[in-house]
Amino acid sequence: MLGKKLVTAQKRGETRALCLGLGMVACSMMMYFFIGITIVPFYTKSVWTTETVCKVLKANIKDKVFCPNSQGSEDEEIFPYPCLQVWVNLTASGQEVMLYQTEDTLERNPKCSYVPDKLENSKEVKARIEKIASNFKKYQTFPCYYDPGGTQTNVILSRLYPAKGLLFAFLWPTLMFTGGCLIIVLVKISQYVSVLSAWQ
């Protein structure tokens, strides 16, 4: 009687472990799919792939401009802010080009190097932009990214999804997939050993 209970408990434990392993594999596949349709297209679409050194030529704050959204936002999402324009000397070609914070900045407003998030306090936005401008004037030389193919003549300060970020995004589903497969393999080995012991 006790032996039957132990066998039943063992089978239940194996079933739960097997379900856990299959669930982890399924979740990791869903994460792979989600990353593949969201992050990977942005990474492959970006043409600013080569890192170089940029030297600041001038950093000016123009009059307030409105933040347009190319995807067609509602009126309440359009807000005025000081327009920071940063011009740099591209070491790779020696050209004078405009610097943008990321690829998204160029799409949101090609006239400004930095587009702030919508904030209720306009003074806070102004102070932040002035601080960014002073940092550019203070640190004259810094790494930036440019388009080696020449499609885009401007440069960006940082990529939205760099190679390291993409690898980090794939790290967690890979660990989950490996863990799920390991659990399934261990359960199958346990079942095989149990059957072999019972046969002997």
Taking only the tens of pLDDT, the chain with its 200 residues reads 544 554 555 677 778 888 899 999 999 999 999 998 888 888 888 888 888 899 999 888 887 665 554 444 444 456 678 889 999 998 767 788 999 999 888 888 888 899 887 666 778 888 888 899 998 888 889 999 998 887 888 999 998 888 888 888 899 999 999 999 999 998 888 878 877 776 76
Q: Verify that 154 and 64 share a domain, yes or no.
A: yes
Q: Does residue 6 fall inside a structural domain?
A: no
Q: Structural domain tally of the chain?
A: 2
Instruction: Kindly state the tokens that stand for 30.
Output: 């869903």
pLDDT, residue 6, reads 47
Distances (CA, A) of 86 to 83, 120, 133, 145, 157: 10, 25, 8, 14, 11
Compute the distance between CA of residue 173 and CA of residue 179 in angstroms, rounded to an integer.
10
Q: Does residue 1 fall inside a structural domain?
A: no
- Based on the number of CB atoms within 10 Å of its own CB, is 145 exposed (0-12), middle (13-18) or buried (19 or more)? buried
Q: Verify that 56 and 153 share a domain, yes or no.
A: yes
Residue 1: CB atoms within 10 A of its CB come to: 5
Q: Verify that 88 and 30 share a domain, yes or no.
A: no
Compute the distance between CA of residue 132 and CA of residue 136 in angstroms, rounded to an integer.
6
Q: Verify that 84 and 114 share a domain, yes or no.
A: yes
Q: Verify that 77 and 146 share a domain, yes or no.
A: yes
CB 143 within 8 A of CB 53: yes
pLDDT, residue 69, reads 45
Q: Verify that 33 and 108 share a domain, yes or no.
A: no
Q: Verify that 82 and 145 share a domain, yes or no.
A: yes
Q: Render pLDDT for 24-46 as a digit per residue (tens, 0 to 9).
A: 999 999 999 999 888 888 888 88
Q: Verify that 189 and 115 share a domain, yes or no.
A: no
Residues of the domain holding 39: 19-46+164-199
Q: Verify that 127 and 194 share a domain, yes or no.
A: no
pTM: 0.69
Q: Verify that 75 and 152 share a domain, yes or no.
A: yes
CB 115 within 8 A of CB 70: no
Q: Does residue 41 fall inside a structural domain?
A: yes
Q: Verify that 27 and 66 share a domain, yes or no.
A: no
